[in-house]
Amino acid sequence: MKRAEDLDAGGRTVLVRADLNVPMEATGGSRAMGSGGSPPGQESAPPGQHRITDDGRIRASLPTIRDLLARGAAVIVCAHFGRPKGDDYAARAAGGPSLRPVADRMAELLGQPVTLATDVAGESARVIASTMAAGEVALLENVRFEPAETSKDDAVRGELAGRLAALADVYVGDGFGAMHRKHASVYDTPLLMPHAAGQLVLAEVAVLRQLTTSPARPYVVVLGGAKVSDKLAVIGNLVGKADRLLIAGGMAYTFLAAQGYRVGDSILQAGQIPQVTQALADADKAGVEVVLPVDHVVADRFAPDAKPEVVHGPDIPDGMMGLDIGPATRDLFARKLADARTVFWNGPPGVFEFPAFAAGTLAVAEAISHVTGLTVVGGGDSAAAVRHLSMPADAFTHISTGGGASLEYLEGRDLPGLAALEAGE
C-alpha cells in the first residue's frame, strides 16, 4: 500500500476517509450510545441532544490530517456517524445525527477552524472544495445521509463515489473502523482516483499482522460484549491460533446455557446454542482452553441504578440478569492472563457503562496491563471502556479503533477498504 506520508500533497486537495464514529450520550438520558454496539433495546435521542463520551477516534484521525496540512494540502474529511434512518437523503439529513459535534471537537483538537459542509457531496461540499486554501480543513456531513453509501448496487454506490472523487485530487484511506465495509466512500471512491493509506490504517494493519503471524505464546484471547452472534466467526478462526479463550460479557450466557447452566433473564441468544456447542467442541479438539465465568454480578433489571448482587457459582436465578463477571471470575481471568505473551481483548466483560457493573472490565484491563508482550484491545466499546477507566497510556501495546474491522481481519477475511487501497499499484 502506498503511504499518505509519501504523497506529493502540497497545493492539492486531499479527501481523507476517516472513522469518526464516536460514542455519544443523549444529554438528559442516562445510557451511552455505543459506536454500533449499544446496549439492547436502546433508542437514540433526537438530533442535537448528544455529547461525545469518548473522542478517541477523532484523536486517532489527527496525525494523518495534521501531516497533510503541514505539507500544504487542503483536507476534506469524509466520515459516517451513527445510523441515520429514512428512505432518502432528505429524511436522513432531517433525522440526523449530524457530524456537527464532531466538527466542533475536531476544531478544538486541531486548534483551527473545521468547516462543516451542510451536505455530503452536493452544492455545499462543492463550493467549499473549490474555494478551500492550502492548510484548511473541511468536514463533509454524515456520509450515511446518502442512502447510496451502503447500497448493494455497484452503480448506485459508483454515482456517489464519482461525486466524492470530484471534490479532491487525491484520496487517503484512514478510517480503519470502516475498512470491512464495501461502501461508496470506503471502497468505490479510492478506485476512482490516486490513493494512499493513512498512518492509522498502516499502524492497525501492522499490529493485526503481528497477531496473525506467529504470535508469542501463550496467546490468550479475551472476548466479551453483548452478542455472541457478532463474535462466533472470530472464535472459529482463533480456535486454530490462540492457546486460551476467556469468554465473558453478555455473550458468555449463551455459552453457559449451551453447557446446561441457568442464565435467568440474562441476555441470551438461544438460537446460537448449536453453533456455540460446536465452537466448544472444536476448541476442545484443537486443545484450546475455554474459560467461562464461574460467578456473576447480577441485578433484577438493566439500569444504572439497579442493585448489584453477587451470585456465587455459574447458575443465575430466575428473575435476575448477569451484568458483570463476579469476584472469583475476575481472579480466575487474572491467573489465566498472568503468563500470557500475546493478548487480544475484544468486548467488555460487563456493562461497564453502569459504574456498579464495571469491576469486571477494570479487572480484565488491569490484568492485561501487567502482561509482558503484545497486548491489543480491539472494539469500539472496549476501547472506550479502557479510556473511560483512565488507564496509563502505555498500559497496552495498541488500542485498535476498529471493532468489526479488526475482528474480520482476525477472521482471515479480506477487508474491501484495504483491497481498494492496494489496488492499482
Give catalytic residues, as residue numbers.
57, 227, 380, 404
Angle, helices 199-212 vs 403-410, to 10°: value is: 40
Which of Mg ion, ligand ADP, none has residue 98 at its interface (CB below 5 to 8 Å by kind)?
none
Cα distances from 376 to residues 100, 206, 208, in angstroms, run: 31, 12, 9
Which of Mg ion, ligand ADP, none has residue 351 at its interface (CB below 5 to 8 Å by kind)?
ligand ADP
Position 82 contacts ligand ADP (CB under 6 A): no
Which of Mg ion, ligand ADP, none has residue 402 at its interface (CB below 5 to 8 Å by kind)?
none
- Exactly one of 146, 243, 353, 408 binds ligand ADP (CB under 6 A); that residue is 353
CA distance 124 to 143: 14
Q: Which is nearer to Mg ion, 173 or 177 (CB)?
A: 177
Position 54 contacts ligand ADP (CB under 6 A): no
- Using CB under 6 A, which of the segments 108-116, 187-195, 205-213, 375-383 binds ligand ADP? 375-383
Position 60 contacts ligand ADP (CB under 6 A): no
Position 146 contacts Mg ion (CB under 5 A): no
Position 188 contacts ligand ADP (CB under 6 A): no
Q: Please confirm whether the linkage preceding 63 is cis (ω < 30° from 0).
A: no
- Exactly one of 84, 326, 403, 416 binds ligand ADP (CB under 6 A); that residue is 403
- Exactly one of 78, 205, 245, 267 binds ligand ADP (CB under 6 A); that residue is 267
- Using CB under 6 A, which of the segments 73-81, 269-277, 340-348, 363-371 binds ligand ADP? 340-348
Position 177 contacts ligand ADP (CB under 6 A): no
Burial of 419 (0-12, 13-18, 19+ CB in 10 A): middle
- Exactly one of 82, 177, 380, 417 binds ligand ADP (CB under 6 A); that residue is 380
220's grid cell: 490468550
Position 245 contacts ligand ADP (CB under 6 A): no
Position 39 contacts ligand ADP (CB under 6 A): yes
**Radius of gyration (C-alpha) of the chain in whole angstroms:** 22
Shortest gap between Cβ of 298 and ligand ADP (angstroms)? 9
Edge-to-edge strand ranges of the sheet holding 295-299: 309-312, 295-299, 321-325
Which of ligand ADP, Mg ion, none has residue 164 at its interface (CB below 5 to 8 Å by kind)?
none
Q: What part of residues 364-383 is at the interface with Mg ion (CB under 5 A)?
A: 380-381
64's grid cell: 494523518
CA distance 239 to 245: 8
Q: Which is nearer to ligand ADP, 288 or 358 (CB)?
A: 358
Shortest gap between Cβ of 380 and Mg ion (angstroms)? 5
- Using CB under 6 A, which of the segments 311-319, 328-336, 347-355, 364-372 binds ligand ADP? 347-355
Number of residues that bind ligand ADP (CB under 6 A): 23
- Exactly one of 351, 358, 367, 371 binds ligand ADP (CB under 6 A); that residue is 351
Cα distances from 23 to residues 100, 231, 276, in angstroms, run: 14, 20, 29
Write the DSSP symbol of residue 146: S
Q: Which is nearer to ligand ADP, 371 or 399 (CB)?
A: 399
Following CA atoms 147, 180, 382, 45 in sequence, which dihedral angle do they give, to the nearest 10 degrees? 0
362's grid cell: 477494570
Q: Please confirm whether the linkage preceding 392 is cis (ω < 30° from 0).
A: no
Q: Are residues 365 and 243 in contact, defined by beta-carbon separation less than 8 angstroms?
A: no
- Exactly one of 20, 32, 37, 396 binds Mg ion (CB under 5 A); that residue is 37
- Using CB under 6 A, which of the segments 69-77, 92-100, 238-246, 346-354 binds ligand ADP? 346-354
Q: Which helix (H) or strand (E) holds 109?
A: helix 100-110
Of 400, 409, 3, 382, which Cα lies nearest the Cα of 199?
A: 3
Position 204 contacts ligand ADP (CB under 6 A): no
Position 322 contacts ligand ADP (CB under 6 A): yes
| Phi, psi at 218, each rounded to 5° | -70, 140
For strands 32-33 and 50-52, give the pairing.
unpaired
Question: What mask of x and - would describe binding to ligand ADP in positions 126 to 165, judged by CB under 6 A?
Answer: ----------------------------------------
DSSP states of 220-246: EEEE-SS-GGGTHHHHHHHTTT-SEEE
CA distance 226 to 353: 12
391's grid cell: 488507564
Q: Which parts of this chain interact with ligand ADP (CB under 6 A)? A: 34, 37, 39, 224-226, 230, 249-250, 267, 322-323, 346-348, 350-351, 353, 379-382, 403
Give residues in contact with Mg ion (CB under 5 A). Answer: 34, 36-37, 380-381
